[in-house]
Structure 1
Amino acid sequence: MKITEPARTAEQRKRDVLARLEGELDVWVATADADGLPCLVPLWFVWDEDEVWMCTRLTSPTGLNLRDGGRARLAFGDTQDVVLLDGEVRTFEGRDAPESAVGAFVTKTGWDPRQDSASYAFFRVRPRAVQAWHGEHEMRGRHLMRDGAWVV
């Protein structure tokens, strides 16, 4: 890739990240089990009140890793338009998830997992770190959030 555009400002990167969190339907979810075996899957998600909410079967490798590990890395885009979000995970089984988050998820995806199977759980990811860059020329300044606080 030939770099033809100047690097975005940190403020523009944050706006772009927030637009993706609002607008995209899928996110890559990276987890690992207790032995370090990695797992990478796409899941539907919703950005609700500064948190990412996802849903998958609690018995799946991803569900177990999210519940047991308490951490996840979420990724958007391709290698020329990257957003990485590292966060802490909390699991909500059955009907324990807040109705506002579930409602936002159902509105965005058109699917209510609670009507599908009792084995589904909701997972809240609170961001602790966010990085964003378009190519090598934006590697400097890619850290937009650290320790759960926006630095922009």
Structure 2
Amino acid sequence: MTNTRTIRDPEQRKKDLLARLAEEVDIWVASASADGTPYLVPLAFHWDGTDIWLCTRLTNPTGRNLRTGGRARLSLGHTRDVVLIDGEVTTLSVGDVPAAAIEEFAAKCGWDPRNSGPAYGWFRVRPTAVEAWHEEPELAGRHLMRDGAWVV
């Protein structure tokens, strides 16, 4: 396949990424169990400008992995428009989540986990690394964040 897209500079990639985080409802969440078994599931999410908020059952494999592993890789897009986000995970009870994060999550996703009972936990993912690219011509300059700091 021939790439006919204009190659974006890092600033445009960051702008596109932030727009996607604000607009998209679901994100792929990759985690691993203590024995290394990988799990990949889509979850609803909310981006508050600093953190990505997820909510899922504490007892399912992803909930257990996020709680015990403390790290996750998140992904948006398809194979020709990639966003990869590595982050540190903090598990929180509903009482410890900022009210604005819950309200904005519920408004964006159309689901308020507070109505689903205590089996659900909240997970704050603080990005530590972000990459974004459209196909091979954009591999150079794909790193938008390293060590928790934007590089663009």
TM-score (norm 2): 0.97
TM-score (norm 1): 0.97
Counterparts of 1:31 and 1:112, CA distance in 2:
23
Measured after TM superposition, the shift of residue 104 of structure 1 is 1.1
Q: Output the aligned Cα RMSD.
A: 0.9
Q: State the identity as a percent.
A: 61
Contact 1:95 1:114 (C-alpha < 8 Å) held by counterparts: no
Counterpart in the other structure of 1:68: 68
Q: Deviations over 1:71-107 (max 9, x none)?
A: 0000000100000000000001243222111111111
Structure 1 ranges of 4+ moved more than 3 A: none
1:1-152 map, 5 Å: 1-152=1-152
Q: Which runs of 5+ in 1 are unaligned?
A: none
Measured after TM superposition, the shift of residue 11 of structure 1 is 0.3
Counterparts of 2:96 and 2:50, CA distance in 1:
19
Q: Describe the SS at the equivalent of 1:95.
A: helix
Measured after TM superposition, the shift of residue 7 of structure 1 is 1.4
Q: Describe the SS at the equivalent of 1:54.
A: strand
Q: Describe the SS at the equivalent of 2:95.
A: coil
Contact 1:54 1:123 (C-alpha < 8 Å) held by counterparts: yes
Counterpart amino acid of residue 135 in structure 1: E
Q: Which runs of 5+ in 2 are unaligned?
A: none
